[in-house]
């Protein structure tokens, strides 16, 4: 509460300070700036010159309504008015003689050359490189149309999403996922499932930050994936609408609109998604022990589906040209219905079948998420100086209720079970950031952040006894509480010295994390403080080539699911459980990159090295009855070396290529139950895509994703590949687009793995979702496709 009061008083002070700064003078020259569509021209530069010697007398910028007011003494003047994408305007013969001068409305016309250049840049910028991140505009990739956030991330360079929906970057699953640069309830307690509920049509871009600077949270061993949602602050009513239909069942619709007039910008977005995904799998396990041996096969048929609704409303209020308030409310509600049928076939040592067991599951999974955010942004007359405050409140709840029926062929009785897993989460976040420029190109950044996260999980499994009464299974009944408080501060400085740009910062984070199993009274509290330095260097070799070097120290705290000692009970022979005693992983990350721009494309190549301490890995253990347990432990120390490149190449105006690859070596070694476990693997991931433009308004795109095999400490993962195709055509004079696509053309996106321990061997194959066919229609309101590519960026820079 004390931190909140400090933040609140700072905001009141700066708002009062900004409103107190009002221009004064004797006479004045005023007027209003409008473009050819009669929209006010905001924050244009209005300079006042003396006719006698062309000396600059004064200047102002137009306000949020396009009006300007210049103080001036008696004399003869002329005005020079400039704005980024408009032609320079000269207003001659302005005479001030004993009274104020009103010039009325001054019309400004668009600079056609500048607008063409903006459109061209927008078309080529599928990837944009900044000092500490790469930005990928997802709308330019047809395989992203009609998809969800999980599908889009799977198309990003060096990012992989497995069949369970778990996201990895450069081969590691310890990646931080943000929404608009902040933690969000949209990702929720189960990111793998939550990402599938976010319609891709509401996503603007993905930022890949492999070595984050000190302004970002230290969380995330390999970096941060920031999902940037669509926004628009253009004048008048603007927006886009999208509808999707596909097979297997994939139906959705979304809109994203804004209305801006004078000081107020209203925004709203909505997305509906309904999907049913058939999946199937197969595995074979063999165990040989001193007293017993067994072999069994498992076949899985699963259908996961349901609907989700995501709704957001917000308002930007421009107090004046220096102060802006933004408030947003978002709500997401979803309900999944999942069905699965598992068939176990037991064999004797001669591979003769001895028993067949069937286990069915019917599960409902409702979720709800509410999020409220308040943002205040202040700029100053000093260019680059800014203050921002963010406050956010998040509520989430999720319930998994499942009914199981297990029967053995040839036996009259069956086992009937049910499970309940409720998860409630509350998040409170405050963040304050300040930027102070110095010198010509330098700036100092500082900030404070406090976040509180409270989770409550109640898990139980019940079984029917012969009297048809439900009895709780005591080994699967508990309540888990997770309380997390993280307080952080950072200081960072940057400057440009000739061709060299340097940025260095230090972030301190205090973590106070308390977990408790309430029914068994098992408590675990962790308090620790860490300093996380970061350094970024950039050197411009030539006009078209840049060299970058960076270092950061980071950590990965165990997520809620990894600590939770309960999990899904659908598989009665394999139980995946968390570990409440997990400690954070720590990582030293080094990276060097080289960007080369040439006439027809760009090439970004980089090498990296990561040294990890306390690496968390899943350990598979099997008892003599054939029951398998998978549990994460802080197993090992790890080293990863890699080479990565991203290439864009446009051999012709109508043909565009993009390719990326990540080649790496990963070494891990640790001890578990006095047994040394280690792995040394060479692997790589890649994606290549080609886009052809035919007859000026038809695009055809093909892409190939490949993931090479890799070794783990207990086995290996086999290769995986998929081919996607897409065809789109612009209609309605560029305001509409129809897209048809097929994902996973050869139905080959499957996870295949092998696990080997002493006396135990398992191989498995699983496909989460079969090949998909999708048709999508998009319509742009009060904008064409070309305007959408370029003009929004201009408005965002100047508003």
Q: Answer whether residue 15 shows pLDDT above 50.
A: no
β-bridge partners, 392:
373, 429
Q: Answer whether residue 142 shows pLDDT above 70.
A: no
pLDDT confidence tier of residue 113, bands split at 50, 70 and 90: very low
β-bridge pairing 127-130 and 574-576: unpaired
Work out the mean pLDDT of the chain and round it to a whole number: 82
Strand residue runs (E) in 380-469 = 386-408, 414-438, 442-464
pLDDT confidence tier of residue 759, bands split at 50, 70 and 90: confident
Q: What stretch of H or E contains 157? A: none
pLDDT confidence tier of residue 390, bands split at 50, 70 and 90: very high
pLDDT confidence tier of residue 138, bands split at 50, 70 and 90: confident
Q: What is the pLDDT of residue 718?
A: 92
Please state the separation of Cα 338 from the chain's center in Å: 26
Q: Answer whether residue 119 shows pLDDT above 70.
A: no
Q: Answer whether residue 392 shows pLDDT above 60.
A: yes
pLDDT tens digits, one per residue of 21-70: 333 347 889 999 888 777 788 777 788 888 877 777 877 778 767 888 88
Report cis status (omega within 30 of 0) of the bond before 564. no
- What's the CA gap between 265 and 589, in Å, rounded? 41
Section 473-502 average pLDDT? 91
Q: Answer whether residue 13 shows pLDDT above 50.
A: no
The two tokens of residue 449 are 């952040």
Residues in the chain, overall count: 799
pLDDT tens digits, one per residue of 708-731: 998 888 888 999 999 999 898 888
Buried b (16+ CB within 10 A) or exposed e, 598-636: eeebbbbebebebebebbbbbbbebeeebebeebbbbbb
- What's the CA gap between 91 and 79, in Å, rounded? 5
Q: What is the pLDDT of residue 183?
A: 66
Q: Answer whether residue 125 shows pLDDT above 90.
A: no
* Residue 229 vs residue 787, higher pLDDT: 229
Q: What is the pLDDT of residue 14?
A: 39
pLDDT tens digits, one per residue of 626-648: 778 888 888 889 899 999 988 88
Percentage of the chain beyond pLDDT 70 is: 85
Q: What is the pLDDT of residue 327?
A: 93
Q: Answer whether residue 432 shows pLDDT above 50.
A: yes
pLDDT confidence tier of residue 12, bands split at 50, 70 and 90: very low
Q: Answer whether residue 447 shows pLDDT above 90.
A: yes
Q: What is the pLDDT of residue 676?
A: 85
Section 358-381 average pLDDT? 92
Helix extents (H) in 403-546: none
Of the candidates 707, 704, 740, 708, the residue with the CA atom closest to the CA atom of residue 722? 704
* Residue 660 vs residue 119, higher pLDDT: 660
Q: What is the pLDDT of residue 512?
A: 95
pLDDT confidence tier of residue 145, bands split at 50, 70 and 90: low
Section 345-362 average pLDDT? 90
pLDDT tens digits, one per residue of 74-94: 888 888 888 766 778 888 888
The two tokens of residue 790 are 């370029």
Q: Concatenated DSSP letters for 186-197?
A: TT-S-HHHHGGG
Most confident stretch, 108-122, 362-376, 720-734: 362-376
Minimum mean pLDDT range among 64-73, 92-101, 440-449: 64-73
Q: Answer whether residue 222 shows pLDDT above 70.
A: yes
Q: What is the pLDDT of residue 123?
A: 40
Q: What is the pLDDT of residue 783?
A: 57
Q: What is the pLDDT of residue 795?
A: 36
* Residue 199 vs residue 207, higher pLDDT: 207
Of the candidates 396, 629, 614, 422, the residue with the CA atom closest to the CA atom of residue 526? 614
pLDDT confidence tier of residue 344, bands split at 50, 70 and 90: very high
Rounded to two decimals, what is the model's pTM? 0.74
Q: What φ, ψ does residue 795 adopt, rounded to 5°?
A: -60, -40
- What's the CA gap between 289 and 626, in Å, rounded? 11
Q: Concatenated DSSP letters for 230-293?
A: P----SEEEEEEEEEEEETTEEEEEEEEEEEETTEEEEEEEEEEEEEEEEEEEEEEEEE-SS-E
Q: What is the pLDDT of residue 121?
A: 35
Rounded (10°) CA dihedral 182, 185, 186, 188: 110
Q: What is the pLDDT of residue 382?
A: 84
pLDDT confidence tier of residue 112, bands split at 50, 70 and 90: very low
Section 304-314 average pLDDT? 91
Burial of residue 26, with CB atoms counted within 10 A of its CB: 0-12 exposed, 13-18 middle, 19 or more buried = exposed
pLDDT confidence tier of residue 117, bands split at 50, 70 and 90: very low
Most confident stretch, 32-46, 261-275, 508-522, 548-562: 508-522
Of the candidates 240, 252, 303, 257, the residue with the CA atom closest to the CA atom of residue 277? 303
The two tokens of residue 475 are 């080994």
Q: What is the pLDDT of residue 291?
A: 72
- What's the CA gap between 379 and 324, in Å, rounded? 9
Q: What stretch of H or E contains 793? A: helix 785-798
Section 288-313 average pLDDT? 87
Q: What is the pLDDT of residue 5?
A: 43
């Amino acid at each position: 509460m004390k931190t909140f009061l400090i933040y609140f008083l700072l905001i009141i002070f700066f708002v009062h300070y900004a409103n107190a700064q009002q221009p004064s003078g004797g006479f004045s020259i005023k007027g209003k700036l409008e473009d050819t569509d009669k929209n006010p021209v905001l924050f244009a530069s209005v300079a006042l010159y003396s006719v006698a010697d062309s000396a600059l007398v004064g200047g102002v910028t137009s306000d949020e309504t396009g009006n300007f007011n210049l103080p001036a003494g008696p004399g003869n003047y002329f005005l020079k008015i400039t704005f980024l994408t408009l032609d320079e305007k000269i207003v001659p013969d302005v005479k001030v003689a004993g009274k104020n001068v009103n010039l009325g409305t001054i019309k400004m016309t668009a600079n056609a050359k500048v607008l063409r250049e903006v459109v061209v840049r927008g078309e080529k910028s599928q990837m944009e490189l900044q000092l500490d991140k790469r930005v990928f505009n997802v709308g330019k990739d047809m395989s992203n149309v009609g998809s969800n956030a999980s599908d889009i991330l799977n198309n990003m360079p060096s990012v992989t999403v497995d069949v369970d929906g778990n996201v990895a970057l450069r081969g590691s699953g310890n990646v931080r996922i943000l929404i608009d640069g902040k933690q969000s309830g949209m990702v929720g307690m189960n990111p793998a499932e939550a990402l599938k509920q976010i319609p891709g049509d509401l996503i603007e871009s993905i930022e890949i930050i492999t070595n984050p600077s000190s302004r970002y949270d230290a969380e995330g061993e390999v970096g941060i994936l920031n999902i940037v949602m669509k926004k628009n602050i253009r004048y008048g009513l603007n927006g886009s609408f999208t509808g999707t239909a596909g097979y297997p069942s994939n139906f959705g619709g979304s809109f994203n609109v804004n209305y801006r007039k004078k000081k107020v910008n209203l925004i709203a977005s909505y997305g509906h998604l309904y999907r049913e995904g058939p999946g199937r799998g197969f595995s074979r396990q063999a165990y040989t022990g001193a007293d017993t041996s067994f072999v069994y096969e498992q076949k899985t048929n699963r259908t996961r589906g349901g609907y989700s609704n995501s709704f957001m409303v917000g308002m930007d209020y421009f107090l004046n040209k220096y102060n802006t308030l933004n408030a947003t409310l978002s709500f997401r509600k979803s309900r999944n219905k999942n069905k699965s049928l598992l068939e176990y076939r037991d064999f004797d040592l001669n591979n003769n079948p001895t028993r067949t067991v069937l286990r069915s599951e019917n599960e409902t999974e409702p979720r709800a998420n509410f999020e409220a955010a308040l943002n205040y942004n202040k700029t100053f007359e000093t260019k680059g100086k800014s203050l921002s405050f963010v406050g956010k409140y998040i509520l989430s709840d999720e319930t998994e209720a499942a009914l199981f029926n297990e029967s053995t062929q040839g036996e009259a009785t069956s086992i009937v079970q049910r499970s309940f897993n409720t998860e409630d989460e509350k998040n409170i976040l405050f963040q304050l950031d300040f930027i102070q420029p110095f010198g010509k190109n330098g700036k100092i950044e500082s900030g404070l952040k406090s976040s509180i996260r409270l989770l409550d999980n109640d898990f139980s499994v019940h079984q029917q006894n012969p009297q048809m009464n439900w009895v709780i299974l005591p080994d699967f009944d508990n309540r888990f509480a997770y309380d997390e408080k993280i307080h952080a501060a950072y200081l960072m400085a940057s400057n440009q010295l000739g061709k060299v740009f340097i940025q260095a910062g230090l972030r301190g984070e205090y973590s106070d994390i308390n977990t408790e199993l309430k029914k068994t009274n098992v408590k675990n509290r962790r308090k620790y403080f860490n300093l996380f330095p970061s350094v970024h260097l950039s050197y411009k070799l030539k006009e078209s080539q840049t060299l970058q070097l960076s270092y950061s120290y980071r950590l990965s705290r165990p997520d809620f699911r990894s600590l939770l000692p309960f999990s899904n009970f659908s598989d009665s022979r394999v139980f995946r459980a968390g570990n409440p005693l997990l400690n954070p992983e720590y990582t030293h990350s080094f990276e060097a990159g080289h960007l080369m721009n040439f006439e027809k494309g760009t090439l970004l190549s980089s090498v990296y090295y990561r040294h990890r301490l306390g690496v968390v890995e899943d350990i598979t253990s099997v008892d003599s009855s054939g029951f398998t347990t998978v549990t994460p432990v802080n197993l090992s120390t790890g080293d990863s070396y890699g080479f990565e490149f991203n290439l864009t190449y446009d051999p012709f105006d109508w043909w565009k290529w993009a390719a990326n690859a990540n080649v790496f070596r990963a070494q891990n070694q640790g001890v578990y139950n006095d047994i040394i476990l280690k792995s040394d693997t060479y692997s790589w991931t890649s994606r290549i895509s080609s886009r052809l433009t035919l007859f000026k308004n038809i695009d055809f795109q093909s892409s190939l994703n490949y993931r090479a095999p890799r070794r783990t400490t207990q086995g290996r993962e086999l290769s995986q590949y998929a081919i996607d195709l897409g065809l789109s055509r612009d209609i309605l004079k560029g305001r509409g687009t129809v897209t048809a696509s097929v994902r996973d053309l050869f139905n080959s996106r499957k996870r295949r793995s092998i696990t080997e321990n002493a006396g135990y061997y398992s191989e498995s194959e699983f496909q989460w979702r079969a090949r998909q066919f999708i048709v999508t229609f998009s319509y742009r309101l009060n904008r064409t496709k070309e305007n959408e590519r370029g003009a929004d960026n201009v408005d965002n820079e100047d508003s």
